[in-house]
Structure 1
Amino acid sequence: MKDARSGGAPTVLRVVLGKRLQDLREKAGLSYEDAGRALDVTHATIRRMEKAEVGLKIPYVEKLLQTYGVTEPRDVDGFLTLAREANQPGWWHRFRDVLPEWFSAFVSLEGEANVIRAYEPHYVPGLLQTERYARAVLRAGLPNAPEEEIDRLVDLRAERQRLLTRQDAPLLWVVMDETVLRRPIGQDSSIMREQIDRLMEATGMPQVRLQVMPFSAGPHPAMYGPFHIFRFPIRELPDVVYSESLIGAVYIDQRDDVSTFLEALDRMCAQAAPAHTTRALLGGIRKEI
């Protein structure tokens, strides 16, 4: 998709509509330049609309549909309704005072995916963190942030976790390094005991699959850093890889690049301890804390 260190992060629906506009243009046999002339804008504007890098102006969408030969009132009305929805801020918009723009795309992808796969070498994934663990992790990452900001970010994380209790909750499949469970978080050891209890509970959830990569497994294909892979039940959306750094994130949806991450994660799942042994492994580590 794009490097998301700056600029507006696209919502999932905006990405879908951008791809549908691209399909309509190509089926009509029109170029970016042809579509741009219809709107009296540059070809770059059309390209950015299709790549979900800008909002969808309703008059522009109406004109493009007409240009592409979409004239059936029901089809036009349906597309415009979706375009208006795509321009509406997501629920996370109310956290915009603390939510980095580059991470808002992650929350949108997370909320629409039907499969979320991840490798995490440092921390328990946000969807499975307890309140105290989340607070300690956020404080470590934002040592100079005021307490009010940390409170807001903890609340945001709690809102995201509602995803796992939805009727249509996605499959969450995570491979965690043993380091995640061995590294003390917070000054009170009860924080880690509580967090491991939460992970043990999660192993009993039908939509959650946890695997641990033990130290004894040796090197593996993803030792360079954490990443997420999102898969969607929407035909227009390819798998998307999310990789984060200290200053932003990169979203990748090119098939060959995504395949590299998928292959690495598949190899890691085969190399990690089987999911059915995770609860016992967690229990053993908890006794040591």
Structure 2
Amino acid sequence: MSESRSGGGSAPTVLRMVLGKRLRHLREQAKVSFEQAAEAIDVTPLTVRRMEKAEVGLRIPYVRELLRTYGVSGAETDDFLRMAKEANQPGWWYKYRTVLPDWFRAYVSLESDATVIRIYEPHYVPGLLQTPDYARTLFRIGFPNESEEAIERRVTLRTTRADLLTTPKAPAMWAVLEESVLRRPVGGPGVMRAQIDRLIDAIDLPNVKVQIMPFSAGPHPGAFGPFHYFRFGFTELPDIVYTENLTGAVYVDQADDVVGYLETLDRMAVQADPVDRTRSLLVKMRKEY
């Protein structure tokens, strides 16, 4: 079932999502109902459900008692509690919370812990590949009433996110960009030339692939809008697809739906220009600015 996030509450870290799913698995394995689990920690069944869905923090006394109720003990309990304490720590992006919508905080956590990120983008260069000036221009358009200080905080957050691609545990990133992304002038010729240079540098990274979907390719299966696909190194966490709208986002994790998005990405990758042509296409488009 897709889940819409349009504000309210704090977004979970990926580790909290993983532990929530482990709690559900342990409860079901022990044949303990929501009501029985709730009685064990003196809360409502809804609270247990929200813990398993990572919608609330993992209160350590609650977790300890639930593990006891589920028959978990010893080193396994110690490890779980240690991870729960870690999961309750704010994400690195917490200091940017004043310029980061609640519904997007989950995205930053997913992005930070993914092993694979695949993107279809018909409008703009993906955030992980944007230059500061390109991002700044978009933020000024998207948030016309914000102060320059707030805009700069948004830019800093975005450029900090981009550092992910060069870390030792960098995810594999594969993006399909519409030709319109590169032909829509954002911030003037100088900004666009620098942005294309950034893309050229990015495709030299061993973990980054970018394909361009030319206008000449005609209609394709992903043309309904942008979306991002995440895969993780945790067996408990399913692949997740993120789609965004003007005021919020939807996170899709139902297997059938996610497979549909993945198949669409694969079909678009075949239809787009091959990866080995991306550099020459970028160089050509840069000259037009």
TM-score range, shorter chain: over 0.9
Question: What runs of 5+ residues in structure 1 fail to find an aligned partner?
Answer: none
Q: CA deviation at 1:2?
A: 2.2
In the TM superposition, what whole-angstrom CA distance separates every residue of 1:224-283 from its partner, at most 9, and x where no partner exists?
110100000111110010101110111111101111111111110110000110000111
Which residue identity is paired with 2:214? Answer: P
In 2, the alpha carbon distance for the partners of 1:284 and 1:189 equals: 14
Which secondary structure does the structure 1 equivalent of 2:98 belong to? coil
**Residue aligning to 1:113:** 114
CA contact (8 A) 2:11 2:106 kept: yes
Normalised by the size of structure 1, how large is the TM-score? Answer: 0.97
Answer yes or no: is 1:242 the counterpart of 2:242: yes
The partner residue of 1:38 within 37, 40, 50 is: 40
Q: CA deviation at 1:32?
A: 1.1
RMSD: 0.9
**Residue aligning to 1:68:** 70
Q: Which runs of 4+ in 1 moved over 6 A?
A: none
In 1, the alpha carbon distance for the partners of 2:280 and 2:195 equals: 15
Which secondary structure does the structure 1 equivalent of 2:99 belong to? coil
Instruction: Kindly report which structure 2 residues correspond to 1:4-15, keeping only aligned pairs within 5 A, or say none.
Output: 4-7=5-8, 8-15=10-17
Which secondary structure does the structure 1 equivalent of 2:261 belong to? helix
Stretch moving more, 27-36 or 108-117: 27-36
Which secondary structure does the structure 1 equivalent of 2:199 belong to? helix
The partner residue of 2:56 within 54, 58, 83 is: 54
**Residue aligning to 1:253:** 253
In 2, the alpha carbon distance for the partners of 1:229 and 1:9 equals: 18
CA contact (8 A) 2:7 2:101 kept: no
How many pairs are equivalent?
A: 287
Question: What runs of 5+ residues in structure 2 fail to find an aligned partner?
Answer: none
Instruction: Kindly report which structure 2 residues correspond to 1:147-162, keeping only aligned pairs within 5 A, or say none.
Output: 147-162=148-163
Instruction: Kindly report which structure 2 residues correspond to 1:206-245, keeping only aligned pairs within 5 A, or say none.
Output: 206-245=206-245
Q: CA deviation at 1:51?
A: 0.7
What is the percent sequence identity of the aligned residues? 60
Q: CA deviation at 1:37?
A: 1.6
The partner residue of 2:27 within 10, 25, 36 is: 25
In the TM superposition, what whole-angstrom CA distance separates every residue of 1:138-193 from its partner, at most 9, and x where no partner exists?
1111112111111000000111011011011110100000000000001x311101
Q: CA deviation at 1:40?
A: 2.0
Stretch moving more, 168-177 or 4-13: 4-13
Which secondary structure does the structure 2 equivalent of 1:114 belong to? strand
